[in-house]
Structure 1
Amino acid sequence: MESYEHPDDQFARDARMPLEPQEHIDQLKHLRAYFSDGPRRILDLGCGAGRLLIPLRRDGHHVVGLDHDSRALNWVAEGCGHRDDLVQQDVRDQSLPLPEGPFDAALLLGNTLMELVCPNAFVNLLHRLSKCLSRQGVLIIEDIPGLYWPLLSTGQWGDGLAEGVRMVWSERDTVFALREGAEANNDGPLHPDEPHRRLWTESLLSQTLGQAGWASIQAEDPLVRILRPDYG
């Protein structure tokens, strides 16, 4: 099986550790505290190489992993010793149902929310999640506005080249692409065949949640933000 220990492979790096190492440690600690009441049934959307899925399974939780990439799922299977409850599916594919619930929680972590560039895609995902979560079920995301807009405002994110990676922004929206390698010297406009990401603003996130009939509970730490359907 192909290893993900490839320092020059951006996909392998992101699948294994999309956050800074300390952020990962802190995020996992928050999740373990949130799920401390007992074994939970969890849906990990965009599970990557099993950064959260594997330790949560070891803690006794029933975690179903979903990712669009077979390579990432192979790494999860290697880490778990089996392929049970691993689903190859793109979370953005509106034509496919999510795995059958009910789930106590769904995770959309590791900056996966940024890959939902179109707000309507997030609305659709929230509608589908409402059907497979338990009555008390939640969706856990990173607080993208709280995590990354402060970095942008202080100049730590923005146009230009840093550590071999260039961030290129759309001229009309808070959408960007990351370019590295030979493309890092290309500061031209976004083109449709490169992966785009959205740096969600608080106003757009709140508007999208309201449109889907969901509510947000602002967590103390931006690494964990709790969302749930607003049943009134």
Structure 2
Amino acid sequence: MEPLKHPEDRFARDVTMPLEPEEHLTQLDLLRSFFSSDPKSILDLGCGAGRLLRPLRETGHRVVGLDHDERALAWAAQACGTRDELVQQDLRDATQPFLNGPFDAALLLGNTLMELVSPAEVLGLLHRLEACLSDEGVLIIEDIPGLYWPLLSSGQWGDGEAEGIRMVWSDRDMIFSLREGEAVQDDSPLHPDEPLRRLWSESLLQTVLHQAGWESSPGEHPLLRVARPVRSVRS
């Protein structure tokens, strides 16, 4: 197994620590507080190398980790000391249900929501999650509009290069790509084969939630936002 730390390896960096270190610690504290009453059954979607999975397991929760990448899961197993309840599955695959439930909560954190570019993908994800959550189960996401729209409106996010990263935006939608390394010199429009992200607006997020029969509103901290199925719709 190759080592986890690759300073120049963007994939290794992203699956290990997709947030700034201080944001990670804050988010982990928020989750520990949210789950403080008793042990929970949790589904970590896009668990990566176990950034949240390992400390939540150590706190006494049952956490099932799901990721599409075998390399990330191998690192998560290495961190946890076991491959048990680590599932290789693409959360975008609408044909695959989420097994091993019911879950008290599902986590979609580490900016994973932004990697779901298509609203239809998120709509399908919410329907599949509803089927695997307990009666009071919730989905926990980051408040993407609250975290990142202020950066856009203040001019900190825009086309161009800064600190070795080039941000390239679509001219038709709130979709962008981050180019690093040799690609940072490429200022051409978005390529169809490069990884894309969506800067979710509050209005689009609410539209998709409503279509799925879910509800959510910004919480006290943008690193933890709770969404839940509308109970009358579920019954």
Cα distance in 1 for partners of 2:153, 2:124 equals 31
Aligned counterpart, 1:80: 80
Question: Given the alignment of the two structures, is residue 208 of structure 1 paired with residue 220 of structure 2, yes or no?
Answer: no
Structure-2 residue corresponding to 1:120: 120
- Specify the code of the residue in structure 2 equivalent to 1:160: G
- 1:25 matched to which residue of 2? 25
| Secondary structure at the counterpart of residue 171 of structure 1 | coil
2:139 alignment partner in structure 1: 139
Aligned twin of 2:177? 177
% of aligned pairs identical?
Answer: 67
Q: Which residue of 1 aligns with 2:56?
A: 56
Unaligned runs of 5+ in 1: none
SS at match of 1:105: strand
Instruction: Report how far residue 196 of structure 1 moved.
Output: 0.6
Deviating more after overlay: 30-39 vs 148-157:
148-157
Query: Which stretch has the larger CA shift, 89-98 or 104-113?
Result: 89-98
Q: SS of 2:63's equivalent?
A: strand
Which residue identity is paired with 1:223?
L
The whole-number CA distance in structure 2 between the counterparts of 1:121 and 1:178 is: 21
Residue equivalent to 1:47: 47
Structure 1 moving runs of 4+ over 3 Å: none
Residue 107 in 1 paired to residue 107 in 2?
yes
CA distance in 1, matches of 2:13, 2:100: 30
Query: In 1, distance between residues paired with 2:26 and 2:5?
Result: 23
Report the Cα distance in structure 1 between the residues aligned to 2:229 and 2:211, rounded to whole angstroms: 11
Q: Distance in 1 between matches of 2:210 and 2:53?
A: 29
What does residue 7 of structure 1 align with? 7
Query: Aligned-pair RMSD on alpha carbons?
Result: 0.7
**In 1, distance between residues paired with 2:43 and 2:230?**
20
Q: What CA distance in whole angstroms lies between the structure 1 residues aligned with 2:217 and 2:229? A: 11
1:76 Cα offset (Å): 0.5
Deviations 1:128-168 (A, max 9, x none): 00000001000000000000000111122111101111010
Q: 2:191 is matched with which residue?
A: 191
Report the Cα offset of residue 171 of structure 1: 0.8
Aligned residue type for 2:184: A
Query: Which residue is equivalent to 1:224?
Result: 224
1:148 aligns with 2:148: yes
TM-score (norm 2): 0.97
Q: Output the CA distance in 1 between the equivalents of 2:199 and 2:117.
A: 9
Which amino acid in 2 is paired with 1:164?
Answer: G
